[in-house]
Amino acid sequence: MRDMTMLTGSPVSPIGYKTPLTPEQEIETRAKLIQALQMSLDPNEVLNIFFTHLQSIVSVGGIQFRFPNNKDITKLGRDALHHCDYRLTTDEGYMGEIIFNRSKRFIEVELATLEMLLGSLVYPLRNALRYQSALQMALVDSLTRLGNRAALDNALRRELQLAERHQYELSLLMIDVDHFKHINDQHGHARGDEVLQAIA
């Protein structure tokens, strides 16, 4: 079984080892971290809060988080030679990968501490990812994956305000698919859906 002692104190070097906390300090530090992580439903802000609090516990030069889609990456701090990677999963599946890095090797007790602290990050981050996904789904048409009417209303309102504020001209292009009802009637709604997806 791993030693889960948390570390803190003054670093030996700018990126170095810290001295262990007492059990009371460990509980207090973790409670503060958990409370801070509940303050936002923005995944990037949750990661930033985690990174900021982590600095007083384990010296880390930077962190990267790769979102489940493997396209989006959040980078905080700086890249360095040594790193440790963790896949974050819950009973609902894969959430992403977090990478801690710094110029000095991580020691075993620090890795155990990082793993313990990740337990505090997982559910606030999951909640933030769910919330962002729900926001996206509320603004995206499930068939075409384009913005829906609510997204159009938001975009028009924003663009009209910007055009008015900056005295810009604004153009709007509308597309009408001629005889679309005929496609649905003759070939079925499944084929009509394919046409909409191709146009999108």
Which pLDDT score, from 0 to 100, does residue 17 have?
59
Assign 143 a pLDDT band (cuts: 50, 70, 90).
confident
DSSP 8-state assignment for residue 167: T
- Per-residue pLDDT of 9-60, as tens digits, reads 333 333 445 776 678 877 888 899 999 999 999 999 999 999 999 988 889 9
The answer to whether 42 and 128 are in contact (CB under 8 A) is yes
The answer to whether 102 and 82 are in contact (CB under 8 A) is yes
Tell the CATH topology of 7-139. Answer: Beta-Lactamase (3.30.450)
Is pLDDT at 75 greater than 80 in this prediction? Answer: yes
Which pLDDT score, from 0 to 100, does residue 184 have?
86
The answer to whether 37 and 144 are in contact (CB under 8 A) is no
The residues spanned by each domain of the chain are 7-139, 149-199
Per-residue CA distances from 88 to 43, 122, 127, 173 (Å): 14, 7, 13, 43
DSSP 8-state assignment for residue 81: S
Global pTM?
A: 0.68
Is pLDDT at 3 greater than 50 in this prediction? Answer: no
The answer to whether 15 and 4 are in contact (CB under 8 A) is no
- Per-residue pLDDT of 111-125, as tens digits, reads 988 998 999 999 999
| 51/47 Cα distance (integer angstroms) | 6
| 142/187 Cα distance (integer angstroms) | 21
| 40/52 Cα distance (integer angstroms) | 14
- Per-residue pLDDT of 95-114, as tens digits, reads 999 999 999 999 998 898 89
